Amino acid sequence: MWLDWACDRGVAGNVFRLQLEDQKLTGRAPGTGTWDLYRHDKFGRLELPPPGRHKLTFDAEGPIRNCLLDLREVQLVPADRTRPPRFDAD
């Protein structure tokens, strides 16, 4: 799972959760410096379920201080990918 996000350093560190069916992936929102500076990075791995309709959610895991982050895009790509995918904003 790759995220494209911005997060002011003053609110960095809140915990997010990405959930796909019964799988849950959590991480801390790293600061990018300002709300206008976006970054993309790999955050973890999920096993994709069989083809069909599935629910994917992104939310805070527990209480948040001020704001979680400004999420611009989530990409699910093959796990062996070593370079970031091309994001729409690139």
pLDDT in tens, 37-74: 999 888 888 898 899 999 999 999 999 989 999 999 98
**Does residue 89 form part of some domain?**
no
Name the pLDDT band for 88 (thresholds 50, 70, 90).
low
Segment among 16-20, 27-31, 74-78 with least mean pLDDT: 74-78
Report the chain's mean pLDDT, rounded to a whole number.
Answer: 90
Residue 75 and residue 58 in contact, taking contact as beta carbons nearer than 8 Å? no
Domain count for the chain, please give it.
Answer: 1
Q: Tell me the whole-structure pTM to 2 decimals.
A: 0.82
pLDDT score at 70: 96
Domain extent, residue 23, equals 2-45+52-75
**Does residue 86 form part of some domain?**
no
